[in-house]
Chain A
Amino acid sequence: MKPIALVLQARGTNRELDVMEAIALAGAEPEGVPLNNLRAGKNHFIDYQMLILPGGFSYADALGAGKLLALDLNSYFSDEISAFVDSGKPVIGICNGFQALVKSGILPGNEAFASPARAKQSYKGTMSPAKQDDSGRGEIALLAKERLARNDMATLTFNAQGHFECRWVTLQPISEICVWTRGLDERIECPIAHGEGNFRVADDFIANRLGLQDQIALSYVHADGSPANGEYPANPNGSMLDIAGICNPAGNVLGLMPHPENHIYPYQHPHRTRGIHFGSGLPVFVNGVRYASLL
């Protein structure tokens, strides 16, 4: 049976049809589900085998890209999404979806990073002094702190160029633990279209861990496959370590800034008239669908 994919549509999501086309082509059945229908209980996360957070400008990116959608995810669907992620079902967040996954703390999602020291530090920075007195008392407070700390580990901030940019990039799939990228040896060519895609982490420790735990799913490279080394425009936004996408430690949740869903047919490639048929983004989705159908 075809896996059914929940394609989450928030206010301002706009690449939902693009990714639905890719998911359908990859062999799953995509279903666009407005966030309001989930809130109203008309649809339930548990009924789906895949979760897709498409690109767009959820809530106009007010307060920062993906921030308000992240708030939705954490406020209304915290338990459902945790259950979905923990069950190992494939989840992908593209562009704005990636931003929401990062800002909600679902990605990178490394519990171990949230050491008590970091939690405390982060807690201090964000809460009022009066409430700080409660730190360390009770399990609930600790959980809240950990979640805050997780939110603070990584972010996607303004492009180094200082503005929105749409251009084609070349990606090298790396992670073998990520269910979406494992086994992909061909590079992917597809467009980016974002203003806040500059991936940053709080410190070198986290950066090292992401590498060591094989969580760097995709990186920006030059057209010939050599590392971008931060060079513009191969690395279009200044992301550290040329990171284009990361996954959670379990490998079932992928977030990425570029749009592989916009290169699923040969005619979409900018060098088509030069006889180049290369770098389809479709294998990413085929990987995800195949994984979902085995669960």
Chain B
Amino acid sequence: ELGFDGVYRAATGFRYLISGADDITVRDLAKRLLVNAVIQQWTVGEIYPTFPQESASSGAIEIFPMRDLSDEGLLALSKDRRAALDLSEMKVIRAYFRKDHRDPTDVELETIAQTWSEHCVHKTFKARINVSDRGVKSQINSLIKTYLRSATDEINSPWVLSAFVDNAGIIEFDDEYEVSFKVETHNHPSAIEPFGGANTGIGGVIRDVIGVSAKPIAATDILCFGPQNLDPSVLPAGVLHPRRIQSGVVAGVQDYGNKIGIPTVNGAIFYDEGYTANPLVFCGCVGLAPKGKHVRRPGEGDRVIVLGGQTGRDGLRGATFSSMTMDAQTGEVSGSSVQIGDPITEKGLIDVIVRARDLGLYHAINDCGAGGLSSAVGEMASTCGAYVDLAEVRLKYPGLAPWEIWLSEAQERMVLAVASENIPALRELCETFDTEMTDIGDFSNSGKLIVRYGEQIVLNLTNEFLHQGIPQRQLSAVIAYRLTTDGSTVSSQLPTTNLSDTLLKLLSHPNICSKASIIHLYDHEVQGGTVVKPLTGVLADGPSDACVLKPIGTKGMKGIVLSNGINPEYGKFDTYRMAWSVVDEAIRNAVAVGADPGRIAILDNFCWGDPLRPETLGTLVEAAKGCHDAAVHYGTPFISGKDSLNNEYYGTDGLRHAIPPTLLISALGLIDDVNMSVTMDLKKAGNLLYLVGEFAPTFGGSHFNLVIGGQEVSENVPGPTRIAPKVYAALHKAICNDLVCSIHDLSEGGLAVAAAEMVIGGRLGLEVNLTAVDSIRMLFGETNGCLLVEVAPENALMFEKKIENLPVLRVATILEKQALVVCNNNQTLFSIPIGDLVKAWSSSR
């Protein structure tokens, strides 16, 4: 009962009153705009709620006679259970059970499928890869080891406290605190049910940070969608329109972040037709914890304690589902893979766990994410062992089979290893903060994971098999021919008269234009630490390069800097250069607001297509290599990473719809004094504007190409700028000496867009004076490693001294006049009133 006499179940619903439309139109409206059939039912007229079917919990398990199966039979079984295991893996499993003289239970097979899923174990990134680079053969043993971990090892920064081992990467903040950062993707769930997908994406990454015993203090979200104006008639079957996906995802991010009270402070949105069926939702979370308080080893006899929400059929097989290519049926088949989050319950988890940490009440902690208890308990017990009784797990409703309980991805749950004597204290905390706690077993020293349901043993596997038994994947990669930068493509063929129109088009391009209408939906002020906010300037509508946070409660004025780099346009051309470019962009953005370039750590998130295709894997290998080379060159270590592969969709047209290779680099930097942080808005008429960095504008992958259209691109995307680390170090010194007034980095749209954005931010005019042979290239070409820097005239000499021997060029003067004026060789190319810039930038087209 629900506490009311005679009321056993309650349901809520939406009622839409529609007038002036006939029945067919109404049904069409409902299907296409109002209802997501994956999670909702609808009718025209009266509706009755459907409640989860109740049936007695049987505890029944299924045994698969696997020992006798042929290879075909193994594959059929994998497919039937949607296990996403390949033949070599199925064979290893068969061999294990033959040796054990028995057949696996459904719980065991599901557990292995989850533990060995791409999502959980990163098979592709750990695979042995035979690479063919234009005829030259080589072999890579694990992309992670070869390119990502190795970069961190080579750089060997003493302030990196945990890289690639915990749920989140951790660096030192000061003598007292450490900062953690994790970025996850929640792409497949967001494609099917955008609100729930994004909602639980945020919830999940927040738990990653709770899982390193930290208090979450900031969230980030980077989103990639199909074009918002996509013609609905070209929409592949079973795919939601990008507009619905965007509004649902944004609402999901907003709902979770705002309600749990974590500021959403950094993000980006990119549009491309490749994301129509496979939107990307990157959710990040930053945590703060007292140094060295995170514990990782369950003690023998410690209780296995589940905290938080109850368990239902939510999100079954999410781990394996996210490792598969989608098709028109995915929505129906995997609908149960999507969950709706409950931020209020997760807030309770934070309240309990932060206190439990300070009281030293637990020995190890893990979050329930993909794979549920199976993954959480399995990982914690991987170095010791555990004995769990599923009958103890608190359920939302009866009728769950043991494997469903074990694998359920019900949200807002954490698992703790707690010594028996600490149970009463933990229980009291839980009662105070309305958080449920359940004791489901104990940790052992057996080297085995044993799960029972009541009296019946339903899973009995050795840690060795479960965690080391997976055969290494053998994959092939082919590296495609790379373009080179070979000079001018378009500039000489273009008339110079429509430059202002080009700039306005760029400013209103969906990837560049203002995201204010979305940013204002997110609470970016809660927790009182947001120093450089997502929007800045006189009217708070200029786009900040990065966010600066001063966490409440820490001593001194030290702060955290968050930024990101992403550029799928470059990924379409050259993934090595893309990787280098986005590493540079993330660092550049952080440096622009004042981060110490020597104290930046980065995270990688690869979203790719199907790695079983050698050409696709080739682009992944190149990107990983680019990550390594750039990280080592900048001395910027990776501390965490994640990949989401198989972002492909087989349309009913029989064609493959793949995303462009997409690499997100998220940067976590430190700044010694947040009062020294810099914003991008122009500050004062009469000040000077410098272009700092090795300026090598190119049109490959540029947004100039996107808005001009129809041009043949025969040049590459921006390449590595070797001198960038020195430029950033010099610029940082200038910032620390208080010599700069504003800084903005050059990115999509080049110098012209960067200058226009600074004008918008400061509502001050600018006269740009170029001495270029090719003014179009100079204005709109894209480059790495460059920033525009505003300096007061009285500081000009000192500033130039700081940047001595590095590329620096005085390019503009700030004006009182409300216009952006661009001249080349003393000839005015164009002059655009600020109002027109603002108008273009505020209205996407």
A residues adjacent to B (C-beta < 8 A) = 11-12, 14-15, 17-18, 21, 34, 36-37, 55-57, 59-61, 163-168, 191, 193, 259, 261-262, 264-265, 267-268, 270-274
- Whether A274 contacts B552 in the complex (CB less than 8 A), given A18-B526, A268-B528, comes out as no
Enumerate chain B residues within 8 angstroms of A21, measured Cβ to Cβ: 528, 552-553
Smallest Cβ-Cβ distance to A11: which chain B residue: B434
The contact of B550 among A12, A164, A267, by CB within 8 Å, is A267
B528 touches A274 (CB 8 A): no
Enumerate chain A residues within 8 angstroms of B524, measured Cβ to Cβ: 166
Q: How far is the CA of A34 from the CA of B352 in the complex (A)?
A: 12
The contact of A191 among B432, B433, B525, B553, by CB within 8 Å, is B525
The contact of B528 among A12, A37, A61, A264, by CB within 8 Å, is A264
CB of B568 within 8 Å of the partner chain: no
Q: How far is the CA of A193 from the CA of B683 in the complex (A)?
A: 28
5 additional contacts, CB 8 Å, given A15-B527, A60-B344? A17-B527, A165-B520, A262-B526, A271-B538, A273-B681
- Whether A34 contacts B433 in the complex (CB less than 8 A), given A262-B528, A264-B528, A268-B528, comes out as yes
A-B interface, 8 closest residue pairs, ranked by CB to CB distance from nearest = A14-B261, A191-B525, A193-B523, A57-B259, A12-B344, A273-B679, A18-B528, A166-B523
* Distance in Å: Cβ of A103 to nearest Cβ of chain B: 18
Would you call the interface of chain B mostly helix, strand, loop, or mixed? loop
* Distance in Å: Cβ of B720 to nearest Cβ of chain A: 31
The contact of B344 among A59, A262, A270, A273, by CB within 8 Å, is A59
A18 touches B347 (CB 8 A): no
The contact of A34 among B432, B520, B522, B538, by CB within 8 Å, is B432
A166 touches B528 (CB 8 A): no
Which of A261, A264, A273 is the most central at the interface, judged by chain B CB atoms within 10 Å of its CB? Answer: A273
CB of B260 within 8 Å of the partner chain: yes
A273 touches B261 (CB 8 A): no
A-B contact pairs, 17 of them (CB 8 A): A11-B433, A12-B344, A14-B347, A15-B527, A17-B528, A18-B526, A21-B528, A37-B432, A167-B520, A193-B526, A259-B525, A265-B550, A270-B533, A271-B538, A273-B677, A273-B681, A273-B742
B525 touches A262 (CB 8 A): yes
Q: How far is the CA of A232 from the CA of B550 in the complex (A)?
A: 30
CB of B444 within 8 Å of the partner chain: no
- Whether A11 contacts B523 in the complex (CB less than 8 A), given A167-B540, A264-B528, A268-B528, comes out as no
A193 touches B525 (CB 8 A): yes
- Whether A15 contacts B261 in the complex (CB less than 8 A), given A193-B525, A268-B531, comes out as yes
CB of B343 within 8 Å of the partner chain: yes
- Whether A36 contacts B260 in the complex (CB less than 8 A), given A14-B526, A165-B521, A267-B550, comes out as no
Q: How far is the CA of A158 from the CA of B340 in the complex (A)?
A: 23
A11 touches B343 (CB 8 A): no
Q: Mark B516-558, 1 if CB is under 8 A from A, else 0.
A: 0000111111111011010010101000000000101100010
Q: How far is the CA of A267 from the CA of B675 in the complex (A)?
A: 6
Which of B261, B434, B533, B742 is the most central at the interface, judged by chain A CB atoms within 10 Å of its CB? Answer: B261
The contact of B683 among A18, A56, A166, A274, by CB within 8 Å, is A274
B261 touches A56 (CB 8 A): yes
A57 touches B526 (CB 8 A): no
Smallest Cβ-Cβ distance to A264: which chain B residue: B528
CB of B348 within 8 Å of the partner chain: yes
B259 touches A60 (CB 8 A): yes
Q: How far is the CA of A165 from the CA of B254 in the complex (A)?
A: 10
* Distance in Å: Cβ of A81 to nearest Cβ of chain B: 21
A164 touches B521 (CB 8 A): yes
Q: Mark B643-683, 1 if CB is under 8 A from A, else 0.
A: 00000000000000000000000000000001101110101
Q: How far is the CA of A264 from the CA of B529 in the complex (A)?
A: 11
Q: How far is the CA of A210 from the CA of B550 in the complex (A)?
A: 39
Q: How far is the CA of A270 from the CA of B540 in the complex (A)?
A: 8
Docked complex: B63-85 residues within 8 A CB-CB of A:
none
* Distance in Å: Cβ of A191 to nearest Cβ of chain B: 4
Q: How far is the CA of A11 from the CA of B343 in the complex (A)?
A: 11
Q: How far is the CA of A40 from the CA of B822 in the complex (A)?
A: 70
Q: How far is the CA of A53 from the CA of B260 in the complex (A)?
A: 17
B residues adjacent to A (C-beta < 8 A) = 254, 258-261, 342-344, 347-348, 431-434, 520-528, 530-531, 533, 536, 538, 540, 550, 552-553, 557, 674-675, 677-679, 681, 683, 742
The contact of B348 among A11, A61, A164, A166, by CB within 8 Å, is A11
* Distance in Å: Cβ of B117 to nearest Cβ of chain A: 32
Smallest Cβ-Cβ distance to A36: which chain B residue: B432
A270 touches B536 (CB 8 A): yes
Q: How far is the CA of A34 from the CA of B678 in the complex (A)?
A: 39
Enumerate chain B residues within 8 angstroms of A15, measured Cβ to Cβ: 261, 526-527
The contact of B540 among A18, A55, A168, A261, by CB within 8 Å, is A168
The contact of A12 among B254, B259, B432, B522, by CB within 8 Å, is B259
Enumerate chain B residues within 8 angstroms of A271, measured Cβ to Cβ: 538
Q: How far is the CA of A164 from the CA of B348 in the complex (A)?
A: 23
Q: How far is the CA of A271 from the CA of B540 in the complex (A)?
A: 9
The contact of A166 among B343, B433, B521, by CB within 8 Å, is B521
Q: How far is the CA of A270 from the CA of B550 in the complex (A)?
A: 14
- Whether A274 contacts B681 in the complex (CB less than 8 A), given A57-B344, A166-B525, A193-B523, comes out as yes
- Whether A11 contacts B528 in the complex (CB less than 8 A), given A34-B433, A270-B540, A273-B679, comes out as no
Enumerate chain A residues within 8 angstroms of B348, measured Cβ to Cβ: 11
Enumerate chain A residues within 8 angstroms of B342, measured Cβ to Cβ: 60
A60 touches B521 (CB 8 A): no
Q: How far is the CA of A12 from the CA of B254 in the complex (A)?
A: 15
* Distance in Å: Cβ of A18 to nearest Cβ of chain B: 4
Enumerate chain B residues within 8 angstroms of A267, measured Cβ to Cβ: 531, 550, 557, 674-675
Enumerate chain B residues within 8 angstroms of A265, measured Cβ to Cβ: 550
Q: How far is the CA of A18 from the CA of B262 in the complex (A)?
A: 12
Q: How far is the CA of A273 from the CA of B677 in the complex (A)?
A: 8
Q: How far is the CA of A61 from the CA of B260 in the complex (A)?
A: 12
- Whether A163 contacts B521 in the complex (CB less than 8 A), given A15-B261, A34-B432, A37-B432, comes out as yes
Enumerate chain B residues within 8 angstroms of A60, measured Cβ to Cβ: 259, 342-344
Q: How far is the CA of A175 from the CA of B507 in the complex (A)?
A: 45
Enumerate chain B residues within 8 angstroms of A261, measured Cβ to Cβ: 528
A164 touches B540 (CB 8 A): no
Q: How far is the CA of A159 from the CA of B524 in the complex (A)?
A: 18
Enumerate chain B residues within 8 angstroms of A34, measured Cβ to Cβ: 432-433
* Distance in Å: Cβ of A58 to nearest Cβ of chain B: 9
Q: How far is the CA of A228 from the CA of B528 in the complex (A)?
A: 26
Enumerate chain A residues within 8 angstroms of B347, measured Cβ to Cβ: 11-12, 14
Q: How far is the CA of A55 from the CA of B526 in the complex (A)?
A: 9
Enumerate chain A residues within 8 angstroms of B343, measured Cβ to Cβ: 57, 60
Q: How far is the CA of A57 from the CA of B675 in the complex (A)?
A: 31
Q: How far is the CA of A21 from the CA of B551 in the complex (A)?
A: 12
* Distance in Å: Cβ of B119 to nearest Cβ of chain A: 29
Enumerate chain A residues within 8 angstroms of B677, measured Cβ to Cβ: 273
Q: How far is the CA of A37 from the CA of B530 in the complex (A)?
A: 32
Q: How far is the CA of A191 from the CA of B259 in the complex (A)?
A: 16
Enumerate chain B residues within 8 angstroms of A273, measured Cβ to Cβ: 536, 677-679, 681, 683, 742
Enumerate chain B residues within 8 angstroms of A167, measured Cβ to Cβ: 520, 540
Enumerate chain A residues within 8 angstroms of B679, measured Cβ to Cβ: 273
A193 touches B552 (CB 8 A): no
* Distance in Å: Cβ of B684 to nearest Cβ of chain A: 9
Smallest Cβ-Cβ distance to A37: which chain B residue: B432
Enumerate chain A residues within 8 angstroms of B550, measured Cβ to Cβ: 265, 267
B258 touches A164 (CB 8 A): yes
* Distance in Å: Cβ of B348 to nearest Cβ of chain A: 7
Smallest Cβ-Cβ distance to B258: which chain A residue: A164
- Whether A57 contacts B552 in the complex (CB less than 8 A), given A11-B348, A267-B531, comes out as no
- Whether A36 contacts B431 in the complex (CB less than 8 A), given A274-B681, A274-B683, comes out as yes
* Distance in Å: Cβ of A231 to nearest Cβ of chain B: 14
Smallest Cβ-Cβ distance to B524: which chain A residue: A166
* Distance in Å: Cβ of A23 to nearest Cβ of chain B: 13
Q: How far is the CA of A59 from the CA of B344 in the complex (A)?
A: 7
Enumerate chain A residues within 8 angstroms of B433, measured Cβ to Cβ: 11, 34, 36
Enumerate chain A residues within 8 angstroms of B432, measured Cβ to Cβ: 34, 36-37
